[in-house]
Each structure stands twice: as structure tokens, then as C-alpha cells.
Structure 1
Amino acid sequence: MDQKRDLEGFASGPVFTLVLRNAIPAMAAMLMVLIYNLADTFFIGQTHDAIQVAAVSLATPVFLIFMSVGTVFGIGGTSVISRALGEGRKEYAKKVSAFCMWGCVIAGSVMSLFFWLFMEQILGLVGATPDTWELAESYLNLVCLSGPFVLISNCFSNILRAEGQSGKAMMGQLLGNLLNIILDPIMILGFGWNIAGAAIATVIGNIVGAGYYLLYFWRGKSMLSIRLKDVSRNDKVCSSVLVIGVPASLGSLLMSVSQIVVNGQMSAYGDMALAGIGVAMKVTMITGMVCIGLGQGVQPLLGYCVGARLWERYQKILKFSLLFAFALSTVLTLACYLCLDQIIHAFLTDQNAFAYALRFARILLSTSFLFGVFYVLTNSLQAMGAAKASLIISLSRQGLIYIPALFLLQAAVGVNGLVWAQPLADVLSIILAVILCATTTKQMMRKPIETEGTIS
């Protein structure tokens, strides 16, 4: 009954209240993910060993690949489920949810095995040096233990929002990440386990977060399902999820790949430069992660409106979300600028590493005020089921635009060029997102009901 009332709220009520009610828990969840990501680096930084900070910077993008694959099922499933509920197709929504659950189990297990088997090749690829090799290896070997749980947690923190349970969607991530933050100082500093302690805390946190979502379903609190018997190979369940989930995941995957490329190129300038870029990227994550949460929070609202063909309401929600996103990302960017020295000092004490981080962070923050608008536009495309447009956006920002820019700008201006590639990619990709969102919305509004679905 609660779920039905929450879904009815998607179609009525003040837009301001609806957006905030769904976006704030999503932003809070991503804020916890941010704090969790910062915690490892922060407490490792308290060892006053910049080599360990560099090792965590090398290992982080590899671990984030697990989260990006969870996005395949989380964002893809949310898009399909929210539109299905808008159309009144609850049984189909159950099939999609169950497919996402078992897809996470299989994909997570396969990925963990792959990383263990090819760990040496992966470390060579990410630019590990003789000083950082063993540290990064120990971190990743332990973190791979939680592979399936990372995917499940990342997936269902999105899917629960599709049935209006934004608060419960937040709680799983909140519990897992909070536990990780509590365990970090105990295991890194208290037990003296250093980088291995950070990895163990990460494993425990992810298992607890996934366990919360599994318990929620086993208690029968959801209108959706994770039962194996509800998994269906019919009704295009798999293709419907993947056609949106894969493009969405590519954005996260390419973010990891591009960070690996940056680390590989940056390692030529020394471990202190590598530690500096790792911390500088975490500074911009403060704005980026919160804005990702905002986009994910409004996506189910937009998807429901698409399924129910409430186009006037869709446009009101999108307009308010864009204005709110721009204001939020601008405030967060300004706050980071004003507190930049203090933020970096929390992670680095080595003066060379600090100087690199300060210079790199100032460059990266030059366009972070645009993050909110970009992520709302990206999620609006996913909400409409616009597979081709989503694919173009995902490939562009961290791939087709960013990676070539890395090599071109490095050749032109050296180490600073590696950093300026990201602001350039941000500007070009947001222009592309505005164009694609405007044209796709017009296309969807012209589609007759009987032919509407996932558009190319």
C-alpha cells in the first residue's frame, strides 16, 4: 500500500517537494559513497606515507569497475522498471528486478575471478611502480572478495527508487559506507594493517550494504522481486535492461579506464605527481558524486512520467531539476575552492605531492559547476529509454573526447595538459547533452502510444 501511494505521488503533488523528497536521499547516499571513497585515502594519509596514497590512487579506478558494472543493472533496471510501473505493468517490473539481482551475482563472481587471475597484468596496465606494486596488489586482492556484493549494493540502491522507496534505497549504502568509515581508522591505524586494513573495511562494508537490500526483499516489503523463479528470458527483459544499462555503465567504466590512463601517463612524472592527481580527483568528486545522486534521484520520476505520458509534468520536473542542479553544483564548487588548502592537507603532508594536488585541483574545479546540469540531462535520456543518445553521451565525456584530449594536451603543454583534458571534455560533452536531450524529448512526445518503448 505504501508503494502504491508513493507511486501515485510521482504523478501529482508539488514538483518542488517531489524532487527534493526523491533527490535528497539519493544525494545523501552518494555523499556517503564519497565519504567512503575519501576515507581510505584520508586514513592512509594519516600514516604520512605518500607511497601508500599513490597505491590507493592506482587501485581505486580498478575497484570502481565493479561499481560501473553494477550500474548496468541498477540504472538499466531503474529505467525499465519506472517506465513499466508508469504503464501499470507490475509483473514485468518484477521480472526485471529479479533479472538484475541474479545478473549482479553472476557478473560479480566472474569479475572477481578475472581480476585474481590477471592481477599482475592489471597492475602493469595501471602504471604501478616497484614502490607501489605490492601495496596496490594487496588492496585489490582483498577487495575482489566483495565483487558480487558491490554490484548488488550499487544496483538496488537505484532500483528501490523506481518503486518510490528513496529512503530505503539510501539506507543500504548508508549502512555499508558508515561501517567502512568506522572500521577504516581501527584497521588502518589501530591495528597497523595500513592499506590491507582499508581493503578489509571496504569488503565488510559492501557485504553489509548488500545484505540490507537482500533482507528488505526477503521480508516481503517490496512490490518487486529478487527470486530466481521470477527471472525470465522472455519479454526482452535482458535486452531492455542492457540497452540502457550498458551505455550508462560505459560512463562509469570509461571514468575508471581514463583514470587508469591518466595514472599511467602521470607516473612518468613520479609518485608524488601520481599522489597529487589522485587527491585532486577526489576534490572534484565532492561536487560530482552529489550531482550524480541528484540525477539518479530524479530519474525514476522522469521515467514514470514517460511511461504514463505525462509530458507537461515531465518538463516541469526536468526544468526544476536543472535549475536546482546548477545552483547546487555552483555552491559546492565554490566551497571546494575556498577550502582547497585544508582539504588537500587532510590527505597529503609531503610538500611536493601537496603542490601537485593544489595545482591540479584548481584546474579540475574550473568546470565542476556544470556537473549538476550534465548528470540531470544524462539521467533524463536514460529515463526516456533513449539507448543511442545515452550511448553517445557515455562514450563522449570520458572516452571519445577525454582520452584523445589527454594525449594531445600532454604533448602540447606537458603534465598540466593531462589535467586540462577533463575541463575540455566537460564543456564539449554538456553541449552535446543539451542537444541530444532536446531532440530526444521532441521525438518521444511525437511517438504514438502503441509504438512507444525504448527508442534508438
Structure 2
Amino acid sequence: MIKNIDVFEKDPIPKAVFKLALPTVLSMIVAVFYNMVDTFFVGRTGDPNQVAAVSVATPVFLFFMAAGNIFGMGGSSFLSRALGEKQYDKAKKISSFCLYAGLLVGVIGAILMFVFMRQILNAVGTSENTFGFAKSYLSWIAYGGPAIVISTAFTNLIRGEGAAQSSMKGMMAGTVANIILDPIFILDSFLGIPCLGLGVAGAAIATVIGNLVSIAVYFFHVVKSSSVLTLSPRYFQIRDGILKGVLLIGLPASITNILMSLSNILMNKFLVTYGDVAVAGMGIAMKANMLVVFVQLGLGAGVQPLVGYNFGARNFRRMKDTMKFAVLCNTIAGVILAVLYWIFTRQIVSVFIGDGAVIDMGVKMLRALMYSSPLLGIMFVLNFSFQAMGKAKESLALAVSRQGFVFVPCTIILNSIFHLEGLILSQPIADIVSIIMAISMFMFMNRDFKNVLS
């Protein structure tokens, strides 16, 4: 018997959504600071080349998060449906598989990164000025690759059992550790206190330690509080549909991160032809935009366990009402954030760096990203709901549209016609097309649910 059954079955929709989604949104905001804090303190070095190095290296870092999402998003979706079907022993098998398979994938990824480091750095668009910094950053990220995979997986698995507050606590603990360690490792001095001055390498070390702290909190929750998750290897198995069930949703979910990495690499390859200022400007704009994206992403992720549980329990009316309420909340949040970002764009960008040319470039790029922000949350709610229902094809289609078959042609065509101005507009255009796709898919799927309800 799970501890949070009332929130899944009995609580009013607004109460249930906020109980699950609010900690998740806060977790995502924490994740934004987790990502922003490195750029902020690297920017305090006053060296645009180090900022650009982190920007071009970030897509490779996202590959580890993509691996974590295979087991986190796939496992969470499978877990919530298993709980809705009252299959509690199956839930333990899912969590054990995600832990040990994720650990193996993280180790393999780290080894491959060290073996092919030079080729990877050349592929992501490093310049002569940024190569050394990017190599230093990624070397430490590779050491912590397994930790990044496990941390990403378990924040989602714990959320999938309805323990959103425990998931939030783990992310917050890791972020606080990262924030404390960043100035110590990155800067030569901070508040008059001598520090290690490791630059971008220090940023990577702090990130890895932060993930280890998060893992400690997650494992403590599993051992002391969870009634359905386990760390025991005796539950590990790939039979009885465990492997297929996790990968069915996990792979499409991870493709989002992989395509995000590849699209960032493509973008950086084009941007580097316009100089390191353009690369740094886009890197800062994307970091700043993470708050807008992650708040809406958090609400979508927060309702995923509720949607998945009720889908597994065949309570389609409660599932649909949950989705509608989440879309409404996300749209309101998107509009408010987009307006605030448009008004205070320069102040936001200036937080990261004092270089005037980079600030001007970042302002232009960040404002362009606001064109699609008000409605971006609709796509996130629908995509997470597709994942929760086990709708792999719909989830995959949305994943490859936003960062794949829409974004890539937009980037290539707009760059060839409008050059830098076209590159800046490629992401919001891809977002708008993907939002239209998500709404169309749901309207088509909605007909099936109406037949069931009638």
C-alpha cells in the first residue's frame, strides 16, 4: 500500500495538482539555479572565453542527463501506472532496474567520453580560445557521469511514487552544496577570502559534488520512508516487461535531452562563425531562459504521476480534469514570466557577465525566446501526460519535433537566409510548431477517451 493514495484517488483536482506539482516546480526552479550558478560564477572571472567554453560543453553534459532520463522518466511513468494497477512488487523491480542499469550506463558513458574527448570537443564547436577550458570542464563532468545519471533518475522515480517533497529536498540539498562550493572552487577570491581559482574545472567539480549530495538524500528517503522503491539488487531483473516498460517511455524522453544537446551543438557550430561573443550571448540567454522553461516543465512533470496513476486505474475523467487544470495553470505562469522577462531583459542578462558586447547580444537572444514562452507549458503538460499514459509514439513525435526535425531545418535555412538574426529566431519558431502538434495530437486522442467515458 502506498502512503500517498489519497492525493491520487480522492483529493480535489486543484489540491492534488498543487500537492504534487508545487514541490516539482520548486525543484525545477532549484534546478535552474543549479545550472545558472556555474555560469554566474564563471562569468565573475571576467573571461568570456570561459563562459563560452561552458556553453559549448553543456550539450555533452546533457548526454548524462539524457541517460538519467531514460531510467528516471521511463521508470517514473512505468512506476505510477504500476501503482495505479496495485502492482507494488513490480514497482520495486522497476526501481532496482533503474538504479543498477543507470549506474552501468553512466560508467560506460564516462569511459567513452575520456576515450573520445578530443573528437567530442571538436564536434561541439570549440574554438582555439575555448578548447582548453572546455576539456578541463568535461573531464571532471566525466568523472561524475554515473552520479549525474543516478541523481537524475531518482529525482523522477521518487516523484513518481508521489513523494514530490522528498524529490525537492534532494535537489535543494545538491543545489545548496553547489552554490556554496562554486565560488570556492572557481574564483581566486570571494568576499575577500582566498579561494582555489580553478575556473571552469571548479564549476564542474562543484556540480559533481552537488549531484552526490542529492543522491545521499534520495537514498536516505528510499531506505527510511519509501514503501515501494528499493535499492536492493535482489529485485533487479529485465524480464516480465521491466526492460521494455522503462525503455518504451524512457528512450523518447531521453531523446529530448539528446536532441537538445545535438541542437545546441549545431547552434554553436553556426554561432562560432560569428565569434565567441555570439556563443557566450546565446549561452547566457539559454541559461536565463531556463527559469521560464523549467517552471512550466515542473508543472508538467508534477502532474505526470497523477495522470499515470489514474490512467493505470482507468479513471479517465479524473485524468483529463488533471490535464486541463495543469494546462490552465501553466499558461498563466508562462504569460506572467514572459512579460517580466521582456521588461527586465537587460538586468537579467547583466547578472551573468559585465561584458557590454555579450550583454547586448544576450538581450537580443533572450527576447526572441520569449515569443513562444507564454504557450510552451501546454506542450509540456501534454507531453508528460503522453509519457504517463505510455503513449510512446506521441511522446517521441513531440521530442523529435521541438529539437529535431523542426528545429534543425529552421536553423539551417534561417541561418543561410538571415544569418545571425535567423539563428536567433529558430528556437521560438520550432517551439510554436511543436505546440500546435501537441494540441492536435491531444484532440485526436481525446475522441478515444470520450468513447470510453460515454
Give the TM-score, by structure 2 length.
0.96
Return the alpha-carbon distance in structure 2 between the equivalents of residues 273 and 404 of structure 1: 20
Structure 2: stretches of 5+ with no match in the other structure: 188-194
Aligned mate of 1:72, from 63, 70, 73 = 70
Q: How does 1:180-329 map to 2 (within 5 A)?
A: 180-189=178-187, 190-219=195-224, 221-329=226-334
2:102 matched residue in structure 1: 104
Partner residue of 1:113 out of 105, 111, 114: 111
Amino acid at match of 2:254: S
Aligned amino acid, residue 426 of structure 2: A
Counterpart residue type for residue 238 of structure 2: R
Letter in 2 for 1:127: G
Q: Residue 17 of structure 1 aligns to a residue in which SS?
A: helix
Letter in 2 for 1:104: G
Aligned residue in 1 for 2:151:
153
Match of 1:114, as an amino acid?
L
Give the drift of 1:110.
0.5
Q: Please, which of 343, 355, 362 is the counterpart of residue 348 of structure 2?
A: 343
Question: How many Å apart are 1:226 and its aligned residue?
Answer: 2.5
Q: In the alignment, what sits opposite 2:177?
A: 179
Give the Cα separation in 2 of the matches to 1:134 and 1:107. 27
Secondary structure of the 1:138 match is: helix
Separation of aligned partners in 2, 1:127 and 1:422: 19
Amino acid at match of 2:398: I
Letter paired with 2:269: G
- 1:94 counterpart residue number: 92
Quote the Cα distance in structure 2 between the aligned partners of 1:444 and 1:230: 35
Structure 2 distance, partners of 1:128, 1:234, is 43
Question: Per the alignment, do residues 211 and 441 of structure 1 end up closer, same or farther by CA in structure 2, a change over 3 Å counting?
Answer: farther
Instruction: For residue 144 of structure 2, give the secondary structure of its aligned residue in structure 1.
Output: helix
Structure-2 residue corresponding to 1:417: 422
How big is the shift at 1:72?
0.9
Alignment-derived partner of residue 41 in structure 1: 39
Q: How many residue pairs align between the two structures?
A: 446
CA separation in 2, counterparts of 1:222 and 1:61?
36
Q: Which residue of 1 aligns with 2:405?
A: 400
Answer yes or no: is 1:357 the counterpart of 2:362: yes
Equivalent pair of 1:381/1:440 in contact (CA under 8 Å):
no
* C-alpha distance in structure 2 between counterparts of 1:108 and 1:102, whole Å: 10
Whether contact under 8 Å (1:99, 1:226) holds in the other structure is no
Q: CA deviation at 1:368?
A: 1.2
Q: How many Å separate the matches in 2 of 1:373 and 1:93?
A: 29
1:55 alignment partner in structure 2? 53
Question: Are the counterparts in 2 of residues 283 and 336 from structure 1 also a CA contact under 8 Å?
Answer: no
**Cα distance between partner residues in 2 of 1:204 and 1:384:** 35
1:367 aligns with 2:372: yes
Q: Structure 1: how far apart are the matches of 2:43 and 2:237?
A: 48
Distance in 1 separating the partners of 2:247 and 2:452:
22
Aligned to 1:451: none
State the Cα deviation string for residues 134-165 of structure 1 (Å, max 9, x = none). 00000000111111111111111111122221
Q: Deviations over 1:166-197 (max 9, x none)?
A: 10011111111111011111211232111111
CA deviations on 1:395-433 (whole Å, 9 max, x unpaired) are 111001001110000011001111211111111101111
Would the aligned equivalents of 1:7 and 1:163 in 2 still touch at CA under 8 Å?
A: no
User: Could you tell me which of 21, 24, 36 is aligned with 1:23?
Assistant: 21
| Stretches (4+) displaced over 6 A | none
Q: Equivalent residue for 1:453?
A: none
* 1:136 counterpart (134, 137, 142): 134
Question: What is the Cα deviation at residue 334 of structure 1?
Answer: 1.4
2:36 touches 2:288 (CA, 8 Å); kept in 1? no
Q: Secondary structure at the match of 1:180?
A: helix
Shift of 1:444: 5.6
Q: Which residue of 1 aligns with 2:81?
A: 83
Instruction: Read off the aligned partner of 2:345 and give its amino acid letter.
Output: L
Q: Cα offset for 1:8? A: 2.8
Cα distance, 1:9 vs. partner? 2.2
SS in 2 for 1:155: helix
Preserved contact between residue 316 and residue 449 of structure 2 (Cα < 8 Å): no
- Note the C-alpha offset of 1:307: 0.6
Residues 176 and 207 of structure 1 are in contact (CA less than 8 Å); yes or no, is this contact kept in structure 2? yes
What's the CA shift for 1:220?
A: 5.9
CA distance in 1, matches of 2:8, 2:182: 39
Deviation, structure 1 residue 295: 0.9
Hey, what does 2:190 align to over in structure 1? none
Counterpart for residue 5 of structure 2: 7
Identity of aligned residues (%): 40
CA contact (8 A) 2:151 2:211 kept: yes
**In the alignment, structure 1 residue 331 sits paired with structure 2 residue 336:** yes
Q: 1:303 corresponds to which letter in structure 2?
A: G
Give the aligned partner of residue 191 of structure 2: none
Deviations 1:316-335 (A, max 9, x none): 11111000000011111112
Q: What letter is aligned with 2:75?
A: G
SS of aligned partner of 1:183: helix
Q: Is the 8 A contact 2:260 2:403 kept in 1?
A: yes
TM-score, normalised to structure 1's length?
0.95
Task: Using the TM superposition, give the Cα deviation of residue 445 of structure 1 relative to its aligned residue in structure 2, in angstroms.
Answer: 6.3
Q: Is the 8 A contact 1:157 1:172 kept in 2?
A: yes
